[in-house]
A and B are shown apart, each in its own frame.
Chain A
Amino acid sequence: TMKGSIMGVLLVLALVVQDRLAGGLELKSYDYTKYHTMDEISAWMNQMEMENPDVVSSMIYGQTYEKRNIALLKIGLNSTTPKKAIWMDCGIHAREWIAPAFCQYFVKEILGSYKTDSEVNTLLKNLDFYITPVLNMDGYNYSWIDSTTRLWRKSRTPGTGNCTCVGTDLNRNFYANWGMVGISRNCCSEIYNGPSALSEPEAKAVTDFLGMHQNQLLCYLTIHSYGQLILVPYGHPNISAPNYDELMEVGLAAAKAIKAVHGKSYRVGSSPDVLYANSGSSRDFARLIGIPYSFTFELRDEGQHGFILPEDQIQPTCEEAYKGAMSIINYVHDKNFKSAAITVTATLWTTLTALWISSTNVI
């Protein structure tokens, strides 16, 4: 009967659904247009690794003050030879929630397109991506407690000595002209650079990883908000990176790519020029140890919402930032791998020409 066959169909469907759930295949998909808690992001990282075992592996490279494991996702196609790499970190400052949202979006984009998009495929073939969705996990978690903690910025290490305030500005704590400018020695300050350089385990973890991989790393991207800026080294007004002109060119091209998406203007320059002087930043450290292409992204907006960017702006912000980041990454890739492609193409033409000549019996 009709009813019987409908029931039969429904029963089969129910069993299939149950089987898929039991098999661990997630039917509900992750919402990249919402802000996520630290626990959700950690679970998402595991999911990315499980769902894409051939290109994703995770690495724990340190521990936060509150003993959380600092983890990154390493994304790239397997290779028998050591590969060059790109580093990206998000969430050095806890209240800049759009930054971790961007790291998650970036991962989703490259994982979702590398099989079909030849440009992304080439990137994953030639490069590894080391992506840390939330570096300041303690601070990020703290900013989720309630509305009074939402604007927390620093780490959560307790003050030393007489100081009763909590936290060090991780982006002033790196061994890069530490303590010279744009910092405060008052431990209650938002730009307190810590009792000493690398006092913070989060900064030490990044330092150690970058140090170990400095010959591999071509590009260092650190994602912040707000301000709509692309910042090039260095934070000290009297020091210029040797490749400053090139960095500006690359940064301006990235800003152009960003503007093409939704019309947003991102200003490009060194921190002391476009924002304020500072020292001890992770970007400066990366450049100092020789990673040639080091940039800070300050995402939306320009002050209307500031740190509390509405969720309906996550998607467009991520779309434009993705184009900006990819503009830089493609430049870096082509600079290091284009010559190989030219060699291959030249060889091909030579071979074809030789074949043609021999086939037409010209000689």
Chain B
Amino acid sequence: MKTFCSVWLLLSLVELSPAPPASQEPPLACTGAPDPAPPQPETAEDMASTGDLEPTHYPARRAAQVALHYLNTHHGSPFRVFGLQQVHKASAEDVAAGGRKYKLDFSVTDWGSGSAGPALRCSADVLFPRTERHSAPKVELHCEALQQINSTAQEDDAFYQKYISPDSTVSARDIPDSFGNMSEEMQPFWRLARVAASFIMLRESSENTEFNMAKVASITQQESSEEQLMLEFVVLLHDFPSQVTHKHTHRLWTLMDTEAVCVLTVCVCSAGDRSVEAAGVLVSRQRRQGPADRVAAQMPSRHQTPELTL
């Protein structure tokens, strides 16, 4: 049996715009609408928290959520999404290059196993850069016993096998529905949407944001060449300080890969420009062995960035 790459994630057609809450625009290619400015800093006081931080207060929690998004981009799957359980200790300091670095000691749980599941202890450095235009935070993360938690490889493989057939045309809206209901079949898709959304939430996070995925508006399986699962998600991301739910469209590819190495590329639509540029972090993800929080900068030559039609 060929080894599946768990995720070859191509986040394209990303549209960061506050969704008019009442309307549902159809999933679209880049419309060329400029990205709105990130939320304004709240008050001067907020930016001044350095030294030891109160673990229950929001600065530590927001930084921990950023570390969580990073963790999920590396270890999330259709059968695993991590959530923050508790921040134990936190501190922050301004760094010479500009920006603030948070040092965190926190615990996470797998949402799948609920409160019954074990908590993993993690430590992270989260750096929020101070640049003219927003740039993504940088995370260094280490979680104890990460390799010892039960791998979801088997369920992941079964999932991909099931939906990779050329006849498969998964299409669903409103996961969950207004009452929080979600069929069992949709749960791995929801988790996959949440993992993919983690890339966006990680990239868009600052000290003045706190993102969660409010719901999946739609999932549409795209036609693709064989042995490839391509899904288009439209998700709504909620930000606490602004209370806005942002709508995002992104696509996710999975590829059969004998090397069990996935390459994830983030592609961003430029403002006012219908072309797609490759940007952001290329992450090499070894799903089966080795520390998974290793970042590789090179793009393996045999994976070409697919042509994207807009």
User: Complex: how many Å from CA A309 to CA B180?
Assistant: 5
* Shortest Cβ distance from residue A274 to the other chain B in the assembled complex, whole angstroms: 6
* 9-residue interface stretch from B222-230, B238-246, B299-307: B238-246
User: Do A304 and B243 touch across chains, with their CB atoms under 8 A apart?
Assistant: no
User: Do B238 and A304 touch across chains, with their CB atoms under 8 A apart?
Assistant: no
Contacts A148-B24, A303-B212 given: A310-B84 contact, CB under 8 Å?
no
User: Which residues of A sit under 8 angstroms from B238, Cβ to Cβ?
Assistant: 151, 306-307
> Which single residue of chain A is at the shortest CB-CB distance from B115?
A263
Q: How large is the interface on A (under 10, 10 to 19, 20 to 34, 35 or more residues)?
A: 35 or more
Contacts A308-B214, A310-B180, A310-B181 given: A151-B83 contact, CB under 8 Å?
no
A233 at interface by CB-CB < 8 Å: no
User: Complex: how many Å from CA A326 to CA B191?
Assistant: 37
The contact string, 1 if C-beta is below 8 Å from chain B, for chain A 264-284, is: 010111001111110000000
User: Do B242 and A305 touch across chains, with their CB atoms under 8 A apart?
Assistant: no
The contact string, 1 if C-beta is below 8 Å from chain A, for chain B 245-271, is: 100000000000000000000000000
A237 at interface by CB-CB < 8 Å: yes
User: Do A304 and B42 touch across chains, with their CB atoms under 8 A apart?
Assistant: no
User: Which residues of A sit under 8 angstroms from B182, Cβ to Cβ?
Assistant: 310
A1 at interface by CB-CB < 8 Å: no
User: Which residues of A sit under 8 angstroms from B111, Cβ to Cβ?
Assistant: 304
A190 at interface by CB-CB < 8 Å: yes
User: Complex: how many Å from CA A165 to CA B24?
Assistant: 15
User: Complex: how many Å from CA A237 to CA B179?
Assistant: 36
User: Do B84 and A302 touch across chains, with their CB atoms under 8 A apart?
Assistant: yes
User: Which residues of B sit under 8 angstroms from A151, Cβ to Cβ?
Assistant: 21, 214-215, 236, 238, 245
User: Do B240 and A275 touch across chains, with their CB atoms under 8 A apart?
Assistant: yes
User: Which residues of B sit under 8 angstroms from A307, Cβ to Cβ?
Assistant: 214, 238
User: Which residues of A sit under 8 angstroms from B179, Cβ to Cβ?
Assistant: 34-35, 308, 310-311
A182 at interface by CB-CB < 8 Å: yes
* Shortest Cβ distance from residue A281 to the other chain B in the assembled complex, whole angstroms: 13
User: Do A277 and B23 touch across chains, with their CB atoms under 8 A apart?
Assistant: no
User: Do A311 and B181 touch across chains, with their CB atoms under 8 A apart?
Assistant: yes
* Shortest Cβ distance from residue A26 to the other chain B in the assembled complex, whole angstroms: 23
User: Do B244 and A308 touch across chains, with their CB atoms under 8 A apart?
Assistant: no
* Shortest Cβ distance from residue A322 to the other chain B in the assembled complex, whole angstroms: 20
User: Do B54 and A153 touch across chains, with their CB atoms under 8 A apart?
Assistant: no
Q: B242: which of A144, A191, A268, A303 is its contact (CB, 8 Å)? A: A191
Task: State the 3 A-B residue pairs at the shortest beta-carbon distance, nearest first.
Answer: A310-B180, A303-B212, A190-B243
**A-B contacts, 6 listed (Cβ < 8 Å):** A147-B173, A152-B21, A153-B243, A274-B57, A302-B83, A303-B212
Given A151-B245, A268-B56, A273-B58, 8 new contacts (CB under 8 A): A35-B179, A147-B174, A151-B236, A275-B240, A306-B238, A308-B176, A308-B178, A310-B176
